[in-house]
Amino acid sequence: MRFFTTFVASASVLASVVSAAQHNVVVGQGNANVFEPKFLEGVAAGDTISFKFVSKNHTVTQSTFPAPCVAKPDGVNSGFIPVDPTAATQPEWTIQIDNVTAPLWFYCAQGAHCKAGMVFAINPTPEKTFDAFLVRTLFHFFYSARTSLLTSSIIRLRLKALPHPRTPVLVPAPKHPGVAQVLPAPPRLTTPRLASQHRS
């Protein structure tokens, strides 16, 4: 189902949409990883939304409510749009809404921006609120981190639980020629294990 028409914002294009409303969203306001505003309500079919990129290098990528930080396969995507702080003008990316039968969800695909809460919504509903969408991004972040830590701890415990090999050593018994005596293997020398380091 088609929801959008995308185009680069220009005066001539926007002038042709005289009967529709235009909504403006700032991406990276105050050099922060945010959309401002965080969501829009009352967007109607035919309205246009212009995303103005003012800092860093962000994206506007469509996702879904259940998976806020995963790109929707058939969704719209601005791609990465870097901002030159010395430039006289700032880049914009505009979409036209063709269908408003359901809420629309977006995020920034740059690094961990989404997991830190850089998400945006169009026409959230009482059943699917923006706050619930935001919580899902944060829950996904903490769940992923906790799962990674738990997996790492299990691996360490399993390694510690492995017994050291105790291979018997056969030596001749001096009092009984021709008879072998079984002695335990000498203790195994180990070097201190350094804690693994992870680069963030």
**Contact indicator for 100, 51 with CB cutoff of 8 Å:** no
Topology (CATH) of 4-145: Immunoglobulin-like (2.60.40)
- 181 vs 172: CA distance, rounded Å: 6
Task: Summarize pLDDT for 99-116 with one digit per residue, the tens.
Answer: 999 999 999 999 999 999
pLDDT at 77 > cutoff 70: yes
Strand partners, 48: 22, 96
Amino acid 95: pLDDT: 97
Q: Would you state the structure tokens that stand for residue 134, as one six-digit string?
A: 């935001």
Query: Smallest Cα–Cα separation from 99: which of 60, 21, 43?
Result: 43
How many CB atoms lie under 10 A from the CB of residue 120? Answer: 26
pTM for the model = 0.65
pLDDT band at 57 (very low <50, low <70, confident <90, very high): very high
Strand partners, 52: 26, 92
**Contact indicator for 63, 106 with CB cutoff of 8 Å:** yes
- 113 vs 34: CA distance, rounded Å: 9
- What is the percentage of the chain residues whose pLDDT exceeds 70? 60
Helix (H, G, I), strand (E, B) or coil at 70: coil
DSSP readout, 13-65?
Answer: HHHT-TTS-EEEEEESGGGSS-EESSEE-S--TT-EEEEEE-SSEE--EEE-S
Domain edges within the chain: 4-145
Q: What is the pLDDT of the chain when averaged over all its residues?
A: 78
Strand partners, 107: 61, 119
Task: Summarize pLDDT for 140-198 with one digit per residue, the tens.
Answer: 655 444 444 444 444 455 555 555 555 554 555 555 555 445 445 555 544 445 444 44
How many CB atoms lie under 10 A from the CB of residue 161? Answer: 7
Amino acid 141: pLDDT: 54
Amino acid 119: pLDDT: 98
31 in the Ramachandran plot: left (φ > 0), alpha (ψ -120 to 50) or beta? left
